[in-house]
Amino acid sequence: MTSTPAPAPPSSALRLPGYATFLATFMLAMMADNIEHVISYWVAFQKFHSAALGGFAVVSHWLPFLLLSVPVGALNDRFDSRRLIQMGMVLFILASLGWGYFFVTDSLQVWHAMVLLTLHGCAGVLWSTSSQMLLYDIVGPASLASAVRLNATARYLGVLVGPGVGSLIMRTLGPTYGIFLNALFYLPLAIWLVRAPYGRHYRGAAPGPKRAVRGLADILQTVKEVRGLPIVSGMVLLAGAASFFVGNSYHAQMPGFADDLGHGDPGAAYTALLGADAAGALLAGVLLETRGSWLRMTPTAAMTLALLWGVALFGFATVHVYAVALMLLFAAGFFELSFSSMTQALVQINAPDAIRGRVLGLFAMAAMGLRAFSGIVVGLFGSVVGIHFSLGLATAGFVAVIAFLFWRTKRAVA
C-alpha cells in the first residue's frame, strides 16, 4: 500500500455552493434518526420490558449495512443518487408514521416493532451510502476531505442533539405527537434533492456498468476489484477492523464502566463519560477544519491516528481512576473522528469513478455493517470475562491489525 500525498490543502467545503444546504439538511435527518430512537425505544421498553427487543434494535440497525451496502452502492453506480436518498427519507418517514399509528391505536406488538426497526435500518443504508456518493459530486476531490470531516462532525452533533431534543419533545408533546413531528424533520433533505443540481445523472456522466446485483457474489467481485487498489483496500481493512473489534460497542457498556469507576452517582458519571468521547470528536472536527493543514491526508497518517485511538481505548479499559478515564475517552473521541474521516476521504478520492458506488458500499459495509459483531466481541464476551478485559482484548486485536497494515505498507514501498 503506497502512501501517496493528498491534493493541495483545500478551502473549507462550506464555501462551495450547495454544500451548506446539504450539510444542514443532513444534520436535520441525523437528528431525526436519533429522536426516533429515543421515542420508539422508550415506548417499546415501557410496553414490553424486553431486553431481547432492545438487542434486536441494535442488530436491525447495523445488519442492513452489512447485507445491503454493496447492493445499494451498485444501485448508485446506475441510478440517480438523489432519488435513492429520497427513497431513504421516505422509509424513515414511513417508520415514524408507523410508530405513531401504533401509539395512537395502542396496538403495538413485538413483531410490529421488529418490522419498523428493520425498515428504519434499511432506510439508513439507502441514505448513508448514497449520501457519500452524492457528496463527491457536490464538492469534488479538492474539498472532499473537508466535506467528509464536516459530515462526520454533523453526525456527532446529531447524536448529541438528537436524544436531548427527543427527550424535550416527549416531555412537551408526548411520544405520539412527538413521533409525528419527527417525520417532518426528514422532509427538508427530500425536498431539496428534488432539484438539487448535483450528481452523476445531473451532469450527464455515463452510468456504471450494468451488472446485476447478485448479493454475496457481487460483494466478492467488489472485494476482488478493490484488492488491486492498495490505498482503498488498506483503508477498507482499517475501517472494518475498527468496526469489528470495537465499533461503538463500548457506548452500550458505559453504565457498567461508570459504576466500576465508582465516581459518585453512576448516572451522572455515565453522562460525563459519553460527553467526553463526543466532545473530543467535536474538537477534532473543529480543529481539523480550521487548522488541518498540519495533518497530511495519507494512509500512514490514518493508521497512526487509528493506532492512537486503539491505545486510548485500551488505556480506558484498564484504568481505574475516573479523571484519567475521562481524559482517555476525550482523546479517543478526538482520534476516532480524525482517522475515520480520513479513511473515508482516502477511499472516496482513490475509488475508480466507474465503480465508485460499489466501492463506497463496500466501505460502508466494513465501517458500519461489521459493528453488528462488535457487540459480541465486547458485550457478549464481556458478560463472561468482564467488560474491562473484553474491551482491552478487542483493542489489542485492533492494534494487531494496524501493525499488519504498517508492515504491508513498508513491504509495498521496499
267-306: per-residue pLDDT in tens?
A: 566 667 777 888 888 888 888 877 766 678 899 999 999 9
Whether 49 has a pLDDT exceeding 80, the answer reads no
Which cell is 178 given? Answer: 412527538
Average pLDDT over residues 43-70: 81
Distance, in Å, from the CA atom of 227 to the CA atom of 150, rounded to the nearest integer, reads: 29
Whether 108 has a pLDDT exceeding 50, the answer reads yes
Which cell is 9 given? Answer: 490543502
- Check if the beta carbon of residue 324 is closer than 8 Å to that of residue 257: no
Which cell is 15 given? Answer: 464555501
* Cα–Cα distances in angstroms (integers) from residue 213 to residues 208, 321, 356, in the given order: 13, 51, 15
C-alpha dihedral sign at 72, 74, 78, 80: positive
pLDDT the model gives residue 264: 45
Which cell is 106 given? Answer: 395502542
Average pLDDT over residues 365-374: 86
pLDDT band per the 50, 70, 90 thresholds, residue 191: very high
Distance, in Å, from the CA atom of 53 to the CA atom of 37, rounded to the nearest integer, reads: 13
Whether 72 has a pLDDT exceeding 70, the answer reads yes
* Cα distance from N-terminal residue to C-terminal residue, the chain: 11
Choose between 212 and 48: higher pLDDT.
48
Choose between 267 and 395: higher pLDDT.
395
Choose between 58 and 36: higher pLDDT.
36
CATH class of 214-414: mainly alpha
- Segments making up each domain of the chain, as ranges: 12-205, 214-414
12-205: CATH topology is Growth Hormone; Chain: A; (1.20.1250)
Q: What is the pTM of this model?
A: 0.80
Average pLDDT over residues 16-24: 90
pLDDT the model gives residue 214: 60
Domains 12-205 and 214-414 share a fold: yes
Read off the pLDDT of residues 227-256 as tens digits, 9 standing for 90 and up. 888 899 999 999 999 999 988 777 767 767
Which cell is 79 given? Answer: 441510478
pLDDT the model gives residue 237: 94
pLDDT band per the 50, 70, 90 thresholds, residue 376: confident
pLDDT the model gives residue 4: 47
Share of the chain above pLDDT 70, in %: 87
